[in-house]
């Protein structure tokens, strides 16, 4: 497995996720650093020095050596990254200008040495930890956290009950949605499958009041678009790095964005919230409002319903399904 990238943390602007990827897309590992841990790592890397960072769980640490950085993690096999590669990616992420030292002379950890660093070394493959289990990602943490103390009725966790009781709402209560619920709704979108796992979508989380009002206008003046939580799901086919015609990539990203919105909608229902899926809007106007060229596919408006409504009826299942024998 090879260290591949540094990503922002999901919900906070601070800290980061360090990502390792293997030969196939199912093979990956993640180390999540909080702000202090990231700051300490940046400090060592920007000064081109070795050192150890003790992580806040008190038993994990990062040993930055001049050639290899080792991630010694509690209850997890050790991970390694080429220090040069890690330095480049972490400092880029932290927006710290840095001139790489291609010729490195140092006392090294065990014996003095001089060597020439290469940007992408093939022998990174030798730094492959044997993986037996994966530490929880931020996504898993968000999804598995218990609800904070709430006066609401207990949350629904049976997915079939959620499906069978979900009902759209066009009248929302003014009650604010708790941040932890928003985290879970966003994280749920990120669990949806995407074509090739390229995540060919982007979600705009609209907090701004004026932007919400502009979206009402762009959505045929549907007033409920101005909901407590407004998420605009957009296609991003440029992320789908598959060798298929552009129209297929567009189709994939349309499906990626739609599925992610559906996962968020179901998550909202499970959290005692309700939603309305908006498909009727002027794409160009939405793009201008959001300042993006990405095509919006749906606006998901979420909030506490003003009152509980029963689910709508559907046609008979046997009319929906044609069995091919």
Indicate whether 280 belongs to the interface with ligand FMN (CB under 6 A): yes
Q: How far apart are CA 189 and CA 203, in angstroms?
A: 9
Give 318: exposed, middle or buried? Use CB within 10 Å, 0-12, 13-18, 19+: exposed
Among 175, 179, 279, 308, binds ligand FMN (CB under 6 A): 279
Which tokens belong to 231? Answer: 């998420």
In the complex, the smallest distance separating the C-beta of residue 192 from ligand FMN, rounded to whole angstroms, is 15
Cβ nearer to ligand FMN, comparing 11 with 168: 168
Indicate whether 278 belongs to the interface with ligand FMN (CB under 6 A): yes
Q: CB under 8 Å to 113, separation ≥6 — which residues?
A: 105, 106
Q: What is the DSSP string of 16-31?
A: EEEEEE-SSTT-EEEE
In the complex, the smallest distance separating the C-beta of residue 167 from ligand FMN, rounded to whole angstroms, is 4
In the complex, the smallest distance separating the C-beta of residue 207 from ligand FMN, rounded to whole angstroms, is 21
Q: How far apart are CA 267 and CA 157, in angstroms?
A: 10
Among 87, 222, 226, 264, binds ligand FMN (CB under 6 A): 222
Cβ nearer to ligand FMN, comparing 50 with 168: 168
| Binding track over 156-195 against ligand FMN, x by CB under 6 A | -----------xx-x-------------------------
Cβ nearer to ligand FMN, comparing 19 with 262: 262
In the complex, the smallest distance separating the C-beta of residue 316 from ligand FMN, rounded to whole angstroms, is 16
Q: What is the DSSP string of 251-307?
A: HHHHHHHHHHHHHHHHHHHHTT-EEEEE--S-HHHHHHHHT--SPEEEEEEEE-BSS
Binding-residue total with ligand FMN (CB under 6 A): 10
Dihedral over Cα of 133, 135, 139, 145: its sign: positive
Q: With contacts defined by CB under 6 A, name the span among 150-158, 207-215, 248-256, 275-283 that binds ligand FMN.
A: 275-283
Q: How far apart are CA 198 and CA 182, in angstroms?
A: 23
Residues at the interface with ligand FMN (CB under 6 A): 167-168, 170, 222, 276-280, 312
């Amino acid at each position: 497995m090879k260290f591949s990238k540094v990503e922002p943390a999901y919900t906070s602007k601070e800290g980061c996720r360090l990502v390792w990827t293997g030969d196939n897309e199912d093979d990956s590992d993640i180390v999540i650093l909080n702000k202090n841990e990231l700051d300490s790592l940046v400090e060592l890397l920007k000064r081109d020095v070795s050192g150890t960072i003790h992580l806040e769980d008190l038993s994990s640490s990062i040993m930055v050596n001049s050639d290899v950085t080792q991630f010694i993690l509690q209850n997890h096999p050790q991970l390694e990254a080429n220090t040069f590669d890690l330095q480049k990616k972490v400092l880029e992420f932290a927006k710290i200008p840095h001139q790489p030292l291609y010729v490195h002379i140092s006392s090294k950890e065990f014996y003095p040495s001089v060597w020439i660093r290469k940007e992408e070394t093939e022998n990174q493959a030798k730094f492959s930890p044997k993986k037996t289990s994966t530490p929880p990602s931020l996504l898993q943490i968000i999804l598995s956290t218990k609800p904070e103390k709430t006066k609401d009725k207990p949350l629904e966790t049976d997915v079939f009950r959620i499906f069978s009781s979900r009902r759209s709402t066009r009248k929302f209560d003014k009650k604010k949605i708790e941040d932890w619920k928003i985290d879970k709704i966003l994280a749920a979108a990120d669990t949806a499958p995407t074509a090739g796992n390229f995540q060919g979508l982007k979600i705009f989380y609209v907090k701004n009041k004026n932007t919400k009002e502009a979206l009402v206008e762009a959505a045929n003046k549907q007033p409920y678009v101005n909901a407590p939580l407004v998420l605009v799901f957009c296609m991003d086919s440029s992320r789908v790095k598959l060798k298929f015609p552009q129209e297929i990539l567009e189709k994939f990203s349309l499906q990626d964005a739609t599925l992610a919105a559906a996962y968020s909608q179901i998550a909202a229902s499970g959290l005692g919230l309700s939603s309305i899926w908006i498909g009727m809007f002027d794409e160009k106007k939405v793009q201008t409002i959001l300042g993006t060229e990405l095509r919006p596919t749906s606006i998901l408006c979420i909030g506490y319903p003003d009152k509980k409504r029963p689910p709508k009826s559907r046609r008979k299942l046997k009319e929906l399904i044609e069995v091919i024998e």
